[in-house]
Structure 1
Amino acid sequence: MAPHVLDDAAVDALRSGFTGEVVAPEDPSYDESRTLFNAMIDRRPSVIALCETVDDVAAAIRFGRERGLEVAVRGGGHSVASNALSDGGIVVDLRRMHAVVVDPAARTARVGGGATMSHLDRATQPFDLVTTGGRVSTTGVGGFTLGGGSGWLERKFGLACDNLAEAELMTADGTLVRAAEDENPELFWALHGGGGNFGVATSLTLRLHPLPAATLAVLLWPPDAGPEVLRAYRTLLASAPDEVGGGMLFLTGPPEEFVPEHLVGTLACAVVFTYAGTADVAREVLEPLLALAPQGRLMAEMPYADLQSMLDDPPGYRNYWSAEYLDDFPDEAADRFCARARDMVVPSPSQQMLFPGGGAVARAPADYPLPWRRAPWVAHPFGLWADPADDERARRWAHDVRADLRQWSSGAVYLNFIGDEGEGRVIAGLGAHNLGRLARVKTEFDPENVFRLNHNIEPG
């Protein structure tokens, strides 16, 4: 679709006094500026506002509203829904606002709205401090945290939003507001799962935790070993300490030194094991899986920031993801999960993942709009492929993974794990009992639903 055409005078009006860069369709950097992680998305905004200051953010929002343009907000641009772009609208692009300021004494980090996990982790690493981040380094901190924030360290330190101390938001009317337990507490509550519905997060302050060492292990088997490996993994997690993270998955064997030649480029069963501690202790915990004689094996102690970037998803692929949160995961569910992996697009970076819950996530007493946090397991089909001819197959596989496991479903879902799957799934992600309260917050801070390119909460 062609973008709505703004005349030169209108674009010049936005550029006047703008600290960052304003990119229009005729500019050389336009196509690069509108490229997202999900290569399926080809939207053409009328203008992209690369903001460098909070005043830039206010100016971009005001410009869009005055001209009737749909407003999209871009942080990391990593989500499968790809709501960071609007056909014919304005993009409030925060990527230049990525500064991270660490206070090691207070154990906090103030994070710019456009920062990625890499920005955050590299800033906190010199102090041996961490907080729960996404499972790759390219995820944007803002959208990740406000949507809940599930990652490798969640069983030890809670979800990312559990570590949110305060947020600064630019509202639809250009007002910069602070949300914390002692200021705008209802907004602060809503930001724990309600996403970008209420304003543009220009900065977040996150609590940090000491972590001098972290350990990563990746174990590989042929796919036929899946049921045995999954049962052993399930047993291990039943008594695992909170330091254990990771997941069991099916993937295409990567061309790495630790991967035997017969597993490269073909379907393989894997366990990714993360440990918030040293390798010697991690190896003891992992022993029941090591006893299953993995044919590929990598295990190393490393700084957490390095661990976070070792498993980054490659950009430039077509994406489709979904998820099913489970109250139980019996043998029948395990067998169905393993059998469905045969339908993945292979070779490709697609992964059919099973993540454990529990630990600090399930114990947290906070009554936030996160109805999925008590589920002990989540199945997460994560599709990335190159050929448009595989689009239908990849979507069908993702929905079949969910359908296979639905009888054990909790009914809830983490909205950051899915795209546009309808209003019912938004309700499942926020909790029907929370909708009235969320709508009241939405009405107070965004009564005209300016920020609607998200898993949307309509005003009251």
Structure 2
Amino acid sequence: MCAAPAAARMDRAAFQELERSFSGRLVGPDDPAYDEGRRIWNGSVSKFPALIAYCTGVADVVAALESATRGGLPVAVRSGGHSFPGQSLCEGGIVIDLSAMNGIRVDPVNRTVRAQAGVLLGALDRETQHFGMAVPAGIVTHTGLAGLTLGGGIGWLMRKYGLTIDQLLSVDMVTADGTFVTASASHDPELFWGLRGAGSNFGVVTEFEFRLNPVGPTVLAGPILWPLEEAPHVLRFYRDWITDVPDELTTIVVHRRAAPLPSIPAELHGRPVIAVISCYAGDIETGQRVLRPLRTFGTPLLDLCAPRPFVQLQAMFDPSFRPGWWYYVRSCDIERLGDEVIDISATHALRITSPLSTCNIFHLGGAVARVGEDETAFGGRGVTHTLNINGNRTDGEGFAEERAWAREWWSALEPYHAGVYVNFLMDEGAERVQQAYGADKLRRLRALKREFDPGNVFRSNQNIAPAA
């Protein structure tokens, strides 16, 4: 057991008072489960909370929150624990852990699903795909639904159906003063607006209700690989090709060293490659025609694009983003893949040394852009791409070099930055949070923060300070 610092210990009387009103498990520094409990997906983050409160329902959430505020302790909220900067943990405070609140209820008649805040994306897909439906949500199955949704939610279905927040019908939440509220388009619409893109700032969401969309169960999906030295040519072709592809197609461009997966021939393992990974969520034959120009461009090293179950596609990135590895990310939105952006990216991609480091370029547009910029707090409806530059290692060895590589690539692109996706931010300060939302939205969000969390209890996030 790793010894926790003295500051990470809760007052005994306060612990006993919480224990009397709490039905879940309370884990402190002296508990054998503490070290495991304070581990999160990003292994580079190590924090020592005073208490981890594994909640079983709303009453537990309220009790843990009230205990923290009475004692003046910091609060962090954890569902999947996938926050890049580790904001689902806090030093010397209470972690409100929602992992046990993982119920899912599908209504196939009304095409809706209710999911508690501890649900992971893989579980949501499994339940909804049983009925041939899905919520657009993420690309890694062990991501927590709550954090992904509250920041926006980009994924394989976004060009056809929009972001995860665009499917959101209502939210149940506990506010900073312990009040239980429900927000929707007709009930507290201003709060509902803010929750869709900046939601972690206003309370602890305990349950979501989403609209379901018909998907699959088979989609045309998978990667096509070219040698990385051909990246300038591939990216220029790709930029021109995607200008008129249908909304059914969502693509992600990946720069990396080919992973040692069973589906990839051994002779390609570790080779620097550029890949375009596609998901065509529509008629398979039509998708084959749409993807033919991409599949016949140049001389691909490998083409794994094929009809496959949607749930298989959703798990495709899992081996590349395993829990406990060390992750560092720099991200930006860009207006378009201009020649300068392409050349910068191709140059820095050739400097990849870690077998785990990647740069992913997400293609937005389609249904994402058809929602008005001011309809939700999410910023960046009009951009065409989001870049996610990951400097990753299995542990701390060589991690400083990977961070430097990611920062250098990001800095080289700075003249072309057009905002940032809030879920891809590290601890980068208030200026970067403003870049995620823009000045006008931020003013509106600060007023909302003042109404629902004037004491900034919920500050272990990409924080929005209450208006003065």
TM-score interval (norm. to shorter): over 0.9
Q: TM-score, normalised by structure 1?
A: 0.96
CA 1:66 to 1:20, structure 2 compared with 1: closer, same or farther past 3 Å? same
Task: Verify: 1:252 aligned to 2:253, yes or no.
Answer: no
Q: How far apart are 1:328 and its partner, in Å?
A: 2.4
**CA apart distance, 1:278:** 4.5
Q: What is the SS of the residue equivalent to 2:399?
A: helix
- Residue type matched to 1:284 in 2? R
Instruction: Provide the C-alpha distance between the structure 1 equivalents of 2:373 and 2:415, rounded to a whole number of angstroms.
Output: 28
Structure 1 residue 57: Cα displacement = 0.2
Q: Distance in 2 between matches of 1:341 and 1:82?
A: 26
Q: Distance in 2 between matches of 1:179 and 1:387?
A: 41
Distance 2:126 2:90 in 1: 31
Q: Offset of 1:366 from its aligned partner? A: 5.4
- Aligned residue number for residue 366 of structure 2: 359
Partner of residue 327, structure 1: 335
1:116 and 2:112 correspond = no
Distance in 1 between the 2:305 and 2:441 partners? 43
Which of residues 233, 236, 255 in structure 2 aligns to 1:231? 236
**Partner of 1:371 in structure 2?**
379
Deviation at 1:98, TM superposition (A): 1.0
Q: Percent identity?
A: 40
Contact 2:21 2:63 in 1 (8 A): no
Residues of 1 paired with 2:312 and 2:72: CA distance? 44
Partner Cα separation in structure 2 for residue 71 and residue 257 of structure 1: 42
Shift of 1:428: 0.7
- Aligned equivalent of 1:262, options 260, 267, 289: 267
Q: Which amino acid aligns with 1:300?
A: A
Aligned to 1:306: 312
Instruction: Indicate whether 1:336 and 2:344 are aligned.
Output: yes
Moved more, 369-378 or 32-41: 369-378
Among candidates 408, 411, 425, match of residue 416 of structure 2? 408
Task: Give 2:460's match in structure 1, choosing from 432, 439, 453.
Answer: 453
Alignment deviations for residues 309-364 of structure 1 (CA, whole Å, 9 cap, x no partner): 122121211111121211122223212111101233422x2211111111011111
Aligned to 1:217, which of 216, 222, 233? 222
In the TM superposition, what are the counterparts of 1:6-405 in structure 2 within 5 Å? 6-212=10-216, 213-291=218-296, 292-312=298-318, 313-347=321-355, 349-365=356-372, 367=374, 368-405=376-413
TM-score in terms of structure 2 length: 0.94
Task: Provide the rounded CA distance (Å) in 1 between the counterparts of 2:207 and 2:263.
Answer: 40
Q: Any conservation in 1 of the 2:392–2:399 contact (CA below 8 Å)?
A: no
SS at match of 1:18: coil
- Letter matched to residue 452 of structure 1: R
> What runs of 5+ residues in structure 1 fail to find an aligned partner?
none
2 CA distance for matches of 1:89 and 1:343? 40
Cα pair 2:78 2:89 within 8 Å, conserved: yes
The two structures, once aligned, show a CA RMSD in angstroms of: 1.5
Structure 2 alignment gaps of length 5 or more? none
Kept in 2, the 8 Å contact 1:352–1:382? The answer is yes
Contact map agreement 2:252 2:363 (CA 8 A) in 1: yes
Write the letter of the residue equivalent to 1:149: G
Work out the number of aligned pairs and report it: 458
The answer to whether the aligner puts 1:422 opposite 2:399 as a matched pair is no
Please give the alpha-carbon distance, in whole angstroms, between the structure 1 residues aligned to 2:322 and 2:273.
Answer: 19
* Displacement of 1:257: 3.8
